[in-house]
Amino acid sequence: MRYLASALFAAASLTFAVQLHAAEVGEQIERTGDEIMVCGQLFHTTAPVVLWTDPKGYDAYRTERRFGPIEKSTWEETIKELPEMATNGPARYGIRTEGLAPVEIEEVRGGGWPLPLLQRTVDQFVLHYDVCPVSETCFKVLHDHRNLSVHFMLDVDGTIYQTLDLKERARHATISNARSIGIEIANMGAYGVKNKDALMKWYEATDGGEIRLRPAKAYDELGVRTPSFVGKPARQELIVGNIQGQDLAQYDFTPEQYESLIKLTATLCKIFPKINCDYPKDADGKLVSKKLSDEEWKAYQGVMGHYHVQLNKTDPGPAFDWEKVIGGAQKLMKK
């Protein structure tokens, strides 16, 4: 047995040595295009991902505005036009300090996080709809006009944009920022049932009766990566439901968004063991459709909506198919 163990160790060492020897100075390491970044490490999702470091990515580390004339994009010019942006300073993100000992804060304040420490800190995945037709518009609103940030944006074609390493404390969900990861899903949101006709500004019915998304410009002009993309709600009917005591109407997210979100949710729940792959449920096992109490929020570890965090929020809305996302993610995690 000792000889076998020694032989296996020697074989593994030789393989590792050969792998090291095979690397060449200046050799490029290619990404496959599905990886997210956590503490500087790459993890596969099997969904299309564009990092902030990629061409056509969205970089929330930058302090200048991403859109508009470049000569007007600096922080100095920004606060001249939008003085309210100065409240939180030029950085749209911060350090996750809550729950860390002073020695741990000193360890991470320089930028580097050990993955186990982040895994101990992060236990919520907060879902938003962005009330925007596409992710490009979402980033413009958050970064250029509201001095906010979010880790991920999910475009109508299923492309996931990561704007920050997950070690950063993004500004997307108030009290949950320190312990959560956030995603903004491109969707025009939910309206009061009496105002549901307002949604038809963003949706249209074809001659055959099929409901499609109707952006103000062609998707190709709005930064959507899939050429000539045609967006359709996963469920064609208008979904009506009650969130925070309000009767709301909303069109569903696209099939492409659901497919990518399922994969991302499974990935995050595997990387972060404290994010349970489930959503807030009541004693009967049904979705909680209102803000959690302070005690419930404090104890909750898992996937949740923005409305579970804040009383004045309704995203991701009544159309969001929690069973589809969580059930799909759970199946992927069992493979």
Give pLDDT, residue 44: 98
Cα–Cα dist 221/47, whole Å: 23
CB atoms within 10 A of CB 214: 14
Q: Distance between CA atoms of 335 and 55, rounded to whole angstroms?
A: 33
SS3 at position 98: coil
- Two tokens at 36? 């997210």
124-178 residue pLDDT tens:
999 999 999 999 999 999 999 999 999 999 999 999 999 999 999 999 999 999 9
Question: What's the pLDDT tens digit per position in 251-278?
Answer: 999 999 999 999 999 999 999 999 999 9
What pLDDT was estimated at residue 229? 95
pLDDT digits (tens, 9 = 90+) for 216-264: 899 999 999 999 999 999 999 999 999 999 999 999 999 999 999 999 9
Specify the residue for token string 């009917």.
Answer: 237
Name the phi and psi angles at 280, rounded to 5: -60, 125
